[in-house]
């Protein structure tokens, strides 16, 4: 894979920690000519529309940045991108010649993010860390920890700062 074919994945759920991961990716990893692929995982059953059933396994088609503001797209895929995230993406697209696309999956975030990393395939993956304490991590499990230990591509975990 040449440098022009780099596919940088960023797991996004539109939370403060995923915005930090997105900003970090834009400032430290993404370069001209890259494809920035946003991975969003919805809970299984979050949107049981007819078309969604077609994409449960492979995920949605790639959704380009210019369609992410469309309320019809939000409803169709059950996503809720906030204006701050969209602003981060628009600024990044202006600063760096990068193609930004979103792919939506349904199911367990651990499984679906790993699946995406393998099937797209990703050159690297950036994921946020919510900063759960040890007890909560033991009870709920850490998505970022699971991804780091099981992904076939390099993974960077951006720690969530409590000030953000």
Indicate whether 135 pLDDT > 60.
no
The verdict on residue 164 lying in a domain is no
The verdict on residue 137 lying in a domain is yes
The verdict on residue 140 lying in a domain is yes
Q: Quick one: what percent of the chain has pLDDT higher than 90?
A: 70
The verdict on residue 134 lying in a domain is yes
Instruction: Judge whether 89 and 68 are in contact, CB under 8 Å.
Output: yes
pLDDT, position 4: 56
Q: How far apart are CA 34 and CA 162, in angstroms?
A: 30
* 49-62: average pLDDT: 68
Q: How far apart are CA 14 and CA 86, in angstroms?
A: 10
Indicate whether 39 pLDDT > 50.
yes
Query: Considering the entire predicted model, what is its pTM?
Result: 0.86
pLDDT bin (cut points 50, 70, 90) of residue 45 is low
The verdict on residue 72 lying in a domain is yes
pLDDT bin (cut points 50, 70, 90) of residue 137 is very low
pLDDT bin (cut points 50, 70, 90) of residue 131 is low
The verdict on residue 81 lying in a domain is yes
pLDDT bin (cut points 50, 70, 90) of residue 54 is low
The Cβ-side half-sphere exposure at 40, using a 13 Å CA radius, reads: 25
- The structural domain count of the chain equals 1
Q: What angle do CA 155, 41, 30 make, to 5 degrees?
A: 40
> In CATH, what number is assigned to the domain containing residue 148?
3.40.50.620
Instruction: Judge whether 65 and 131 are in contact, CB under 8 Å.
Output: no
Instruction: Judge whether 157 and 148 are in contact, CB under 8 Å.
Output: yes
**Beta-bridge partner residues of 8:** 36, 124
Write out the residue range of the structural domain in which residue 29 sits: 3-159
The verdict on residue 16 lying in a domain is yes
pLDDT averaged over every residue in the chain:
85
Q: How far apart are CA 97 and CA 142, in angstroms?
A: 33
Instruction: Judge whether 24 and 134 are in contact, CB under 8 Å.
Output: no
**Sheet arrangement for strand 124-129:** 63-64, 99-106, 35-42, 7-11, 124-129, 155-159
Indicate whether 53 pLDDT > 60.
no
The verdict on residue 56 lying in a domain is yes
């Amino acid at each position: 894979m040449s440098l022009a074919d780099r596919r940088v994945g960023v797991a996004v759920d539109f939370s403060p920690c995923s915005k930090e991961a997105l900003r970090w990716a834009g400032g430290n990893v993404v370069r001209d000519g890259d494809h920035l692929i946003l991975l969003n995982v919805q809970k299984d059953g979050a949107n049981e529309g007819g078309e969604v059933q077609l994409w449960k396994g492979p995920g949605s088609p790639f959704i380009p940045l210019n369609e992410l503001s469309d309320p019809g797209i939000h409803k169709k895929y059950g996503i809720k991108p906030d204006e701050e995230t969209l602003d981060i993406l628009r600024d990044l697209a202006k600063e760096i010649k990068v193609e930004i696309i979103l792919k939506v999956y349904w199911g367990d975030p651990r499984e679906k993010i790993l699946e995406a990393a393998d099937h797209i395939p990703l050159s690297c993956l950036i994921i946020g860390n919510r900063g759960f304490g040890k007890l909560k991590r033991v009870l709920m499990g850490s998505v970022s920890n699971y991804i780091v230990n099981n992904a076939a591509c390099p993974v960077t975990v951006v720690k969530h700062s409590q000030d953000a």
